[in-house]
Amino acid sequence: MANLKKPPFFFLLLGTLVYFLHATVLQTAPADVVVDPDDLRSATEAYFRQTGIAPSQLIVQQLKQRLLDEQILYQEALSRNLHFTDNLIKNRLQSVITFLEVSSGSSEKDLAKAYQWQLYLHDEVIRRRLVDLMKQQLIDEQKLIVPSSKALQTYYEENRELYRRQQTISFEQLYFSTVETGLSKAQCGNMAFRDRASFFMHGNRFSKVNRRTVETLFGYDFSNAIFNPDENEQWLPLQSAFGFHCVYIHEIDNTAADSYFRFEEVEPDVVERVKEIQQREALLTKLQALRKKYRVGR
């Protein structure tokens, strides 16, 4: 007990207590993650642009959680030093050094300088890369098993509508880039007029394409109109996302519209979809555990 009265021993004991306090309490305290209001505003605006619908409170909360999860993944990636091991990040840092015109001519020295200046903390490309790397690392940690034949077959049976055969159409079209106000049936029926058609990048003839393909190439309104034509008409004037067309429908095939692709025909797609589900579930499980390490700041 006498030793406690000696200042050196007292300070040594105090230092030891502080060290253990830091190790056992402070280091286990949740770290802060914060959603920047500007980032949330950008996310809600992007949602509106993509859907045309103002986001509800539930959607806003989901967008906020996604941003929080990205912050958690980013911070976790930094804590695991992933920014020191990824070649794409290293190349990015060297490019930044070159852009700043402070290159020494040595790749190793430039990279060391970039890390010393912590340039990785201020680069959006690197931030997104770290988020992706962290996601993949968390998925890999779950050691996912290869989906069994039974699991694949079950998914196929429960999601058969994904594999319904679609109505198809065979048609040809002529595009008129100089027409600005629309085409008439009479114009489309006139061979001399049709000879003045313009070049169209997707081609003129389409054989047995489904509704989804037509919609992707020409837009929803065009697809809806061509699959529901007026009776007894040959050349039809239709408008697409590109402009105006004269369209001749050769055949609309409904014979396979109510049947389904066999499992063997779509097995590769089933495998990919089941793997994607496994990965999403694995990532969510790991994220739920990680969220406990972080505290949402104000």
- Domain extent for 153: 149-161+260-284
Same domain, 105 and 214: no
pLDDT in tens, 176-201: 988 878 888 889 989 999 999 999 98
| pLDDT at residue 2 tops 80 | no
Is residue 119 assigned to a domain?
Answer: yes
Query: pLDDT-derived band of residue 18, with 50, 70 and 90 as boundaries?
Result: very low
Same domain, 280 and 156: yes
Query: pLDDT-derived band of residue 269, with 50, 70 and 90 as boundaries?
Result: very high
Same domain, 120 and 225: no
End-of-domain residue from the set 145, 174, 203: 145
Same domain, 87 and 171: no
End-of-domain residue from the set 145, 177, 199: 145
pLDDT in tens, 118-168: 999 989 999 999 999 999 999 999 888 889 999 999 999 999 888 888 889
Same domain, 69 and 87: yes
CATH number reported for the structural domain that contains residue 186 in this entry: 3.10.50
pLDDT in tens, 215-259: 989 988 899 889 888 765 688 899 888 889 999 999 888 876 678
Distance separating alpha carbons of residues 49 and 84, to the nearest angstrom:
37
What is the percent of the chain with per-residue pLDDT over 90, rounded to a whole number?
52
Q: What b/e string do you get for 33-64 counting C-beta neighbours within 10 Å, with b at 16 or more?
A: bebeeeebeebbeebeeeeeeebeeebeeebb
Is residue 292 assigned to a domain?
Answer: no
Is residue 7 assigned to a domain?
Answer: no
| pLDDT at residue 276 tops 90 | yes
Q: Mean pLDDT throughout 35-54?
A: 87
Same domain, 200 and 108: no
Is residue 12 assigned to a domain?
Answer: no
Mean per-residue pLDDT of the chain: 85
The least confident of 7-11, 70-74, 267-271 is 7-11
pLDDT at 51: 76
Same domain, 117 and 194: no
Same domain, 178 and 132: no
pLDDT in tens, 203-217: 999 999 988 899 989
Same domain, 137 and 226: no
Distance separating alpha carbons of residues 171 and 249, to the nearest angstrom:
4
Same domain, 249 and 185: yes
Same domain, 242 and 139: no
At 153, give phi and psi (nearest 5°): -65, -40
Same domain, 157 and 179: no
